[in-house]
Amino acid sequence: MNGLSRSSLAAVASALFLGLLVPTSASSADAAFTQFIASLWPEAQAEGVSRTTFDEQTRGLEPDYKLPDLILPGRPATGAPSQAEFVQVPADYVKEASIARLAGEGQRLLQKYRAALSEIEKKSGVPATVMLAIWGRETDYGRYTLPYDLVRVLATQAYVGRRKDQYRTEFILALKILGDGVVTRKEMRSSWAGATGLTQFLPSEYYKHGVDFDGDGRIDIWHSVPDALASAAQQLVNKGWQTGVRWAYEVQAPAKIDCTLGVPEVTKPIGQWLREGFVPVRGQKLSAAEQAQPASLLQPEGIYGPSFLTTKNYFVIKEYNFSDLYVLFVGHLSDRMTSPLPFATPWSASKQLRTKDVETMQRGLTRVGLYKDKIDGKAGMQTRAALGAYQKSAGLKVDCWPSEEVLRSIQAAR
């Protein structure tokens, strides 16, 4: 390891991260990166990675400092990524044209992979349409080419990312996958966050949930559609999927709804929500078993736009991607493969605040004791409910939506 002990390497890395040792050039920064990668060999060896694989895959490896979510010594943080799930308004993310196109393609694939999908659904309890919807959302049914080299992404995030410890493990497991010979480095493309394959798994998820459905002795989520779909279904099962339960029900909310109830902690049987004035859209009749299901209220645009009663399976899908809009997209796309109907209530013409403005809002809400979650610039369920609570206390219109008006009010209340 270039004559340096592991403790020496750790000291170098710590100095770099703390900004105490500022590289005089890109080459010196890359030398420290190379030393950091070399220091991971004992952990890789313990995970079953061969020396040959480790050397082949790390030789000439360079960090990619243009990735989002990095903390770089002597430079501004690259900041959280502007993922569409968190910066677009619902009407732009759950776009009707995209849903309709993907639903049509999903219907074709439902027939093409009928035998495999039926068997996976029988074994897992996850509907075939949900598996296909995840595939459609993640990689456009495999048509979208992921832009990054997985090994380089994970190495960079392990070195200077905000979640270094997590990515250290993911990097080593990516080397293990390559050593297993299932996929080549060239084929193992990824997102900026290190998700790979047709249905977008982190390497750790590949080992936790991967399924060799086609029986060829390899778990291949890059080329084998049955393996990728079965693996996606298994991930949902492992996270608590309940057979025979819908992901959500669209409802009309009563006129005087308290939108601050829209948090996962407020859960009631669907029948109770109905008795409190919520009405399933289009006259849908719910069985006694459905009405007994516990559900939470979701209003993605506050009091504007559609309202939903979300079941346990809604939150299971959310474990796949922690975004309400992602789950809405997947759930609605799944429904559209068997029904042509869009949401009964249209989205409003709401505008989304910039990430940094939502972060400012979250800090203000935290300061007054109304918000206890992460400062992440994402207007999720907890943020919207906290906004509603603030609007009540400030005498503003209670709509649970992050507008410029409520932002100005929070800033003025300092």
One DSSP character per residue, 245-309 reads --SEEEEEPPTT--GGG-STT-EEEHHHHHHTT-EEGGGPPPPHHHHHSEEEEE-EEEEBS-EEE
Residue pLDDT tens, the chain, 414 long = 443 344 334 433 443 443 333 344 455 558 999 999 999 999 999 999 999 999 999 999 999 999 988 988 766 655 555 554 445 788 889 999 999 999 999 999 999 999 999 999 999 999 999 999 999 999 999 999 999 999 999 999 999 999 999 999 999 999 999 999 999 999 999 999 999 999 999 999 999 999 999 999 999 999 999 999 999 999 999 999 999 999 999 999 999 999 999 999 999 999 999 999 999 999 999 999 999 999 999 999 999 999 999 999 999 999 999 889 999 999 999 999 999 999 999 998 678 788 889 999 999 999 999 999 999 888 899 999 999 999 999 999 999 999 999 999 999 987
Residues 294 and 359 in one domain: no
Residues 175 and 265 in one domain: no
Pairing of strands 148-149, 189-190: antiparallel
Domain count, the chain: 3
Burial (0-12, 13-18, 19+ Cβ within 10 Å), 329: buried
Domain that holds residue 27: 6-79+147-190
Residues 371 and 290 in one domain: no
**Which of 190, 125, 186, 178 lies closest to 153 in space, CA to CA?**
190
**Cβ within 8 Å of residue 394, ≥6 positions away:** 409, 413
Return d(Cα 48, Cα 65) in angstroms, integer. Answer: 29
Q: Is residue 316 part of a domain?
A: no
CA 127 to chain CA centroid, nearest Å: 20
φ, ψ for residue 6 (rounded to 5)? -65, -35
Return d(Cα 41, Cα 150) in angstroms, integer. Answer: 18
Residue 150 DSSP SS3: helix
Burial (0-12, 13-18, 19+ Cβ within 10 Å), 59: exposed
Residues 58 and 152 in one domain: yes
Q: Is residue 118 part of a domain?
A: no
CATH of the domain at 362: 1.10.101.10
Residues 284 and 362 in one domain: no
Q: Is residue 29 part of a domain?
A: yes
Q: Is residue 385 part of a domain?
A: yes
Q: Structure pTM?
A: 0.89
Residues 176 and 272 in one domain: no
Return d(Cα 43, Cα 234) in angstroms, integer. Answer: 28
Residues 162 and 41 in one domain: yes
